[in-house]
Chains A and B, each alone.
Chain A
Amino acid sequence: MKRSTSRQSQAGAYKTGPFVLKISSDPAHLAPTRVAIERLCTDGGFNAESAAAIGLAVNEAVANVIRHAYGGAPGKPIELCVRFDNEGVTIELRDWGNGTNPCDLAPPPPNPLKPGGLGLLCMRQMMDSLVFTPQPDGMLLVMKKRKSSASAA
């Protein structure tokens, strides 16, 4: 009985996470990270279109960290934590950079021919919520997407 409970618990943990991805601030890590996130989201119950949207949002968020929080410096730590629940997915992105909040960089109103801030626009379009919380030594971004929207599986 104990074993069965343990297996069930492990199976539940597999579905819900948390899944932690630790990468460094190298743009070469963007594509594999995006693919991993999309795969996790597909396994977590999102359809391909929603998983792709989440993958793009994560791509843009990590690219912002590389470019702005770390100023393009390679080898700096970036950590992603992915959790699923009945509502959808929560993705935490932590960096130990200069504390740049991309919301402060975005030029209002957006001009299509000045693509600065497009990454943030994509993140806002693709996810249901984005919360940037400055940390003493960097930034924490929490992104959420619900499965209950029309685009969920």
Chain B
Amino acid sequence: MKRYAVLIVGVAMLATSCSRKSESAPVPKPTAFGAAIVESSGGKQIAQTGSLLPQPVVVQVNDDQGTAVPGALVAFSAASGVTFDPANGLTDSSGQMTTNVSLGGVAGRYQLTAFIFDKSHKRVELKLEEIALGYQQTLGRGLNDQYCERCHNPESTPERVSNYDNLEVKPHPFSEGETLNKMSDADLTAIITNGGPALQKSALMPAWGNTLSKSDVQALIAYIRAVSDPPSQNAGPIYTQSSGPR
């Protein structure tokens, strides 16, 4: 019997020493408990599949009075393929916890869950959504930046002043799901290819059919669907922890 025990221990030691996986950092011990968790920044960002979100995700833990709680343990989870750096940690002196997020390898929407346990060990969750662009949507984003952005995006940058405010008839920002989700792919194709008048809309929207190729227009529509808020039915599933790509 003793011999078996020695053998088992030996095999177990061999197995652990051969394993290449780096050990995950130990979960820190919380010094305080919050009652609520809210988003500070970092939701609804756009990145290419598999890559890092441009800004970190920052969440804040509050107590039941709404005051920030330092030292509370926050953990993140999402569909497999999404990585958090770090995946858990204690809130800092301003009650915030910051993590860098890389999205999964399949294009689509990823639901991130940040959660805490309150004093009575009840789980309190915050859900955020981020958008991963695949090849076609990335192509569309490039075209959007070049041809569409300056009229369709009311936000301007110092480099590219927005033309939105100068237009008599206001264009729809591409995130405006309320309107754009009601338009079929065929309608969007028609208006991009043949201009506003094709759907009895303003001639300020020019016809791009001779400038952009058919696949360009499809890429642009794929991008518009991907960034729409609320999410478009045509953009595919939303990946959550339980229904993610394996």
A binds B: no
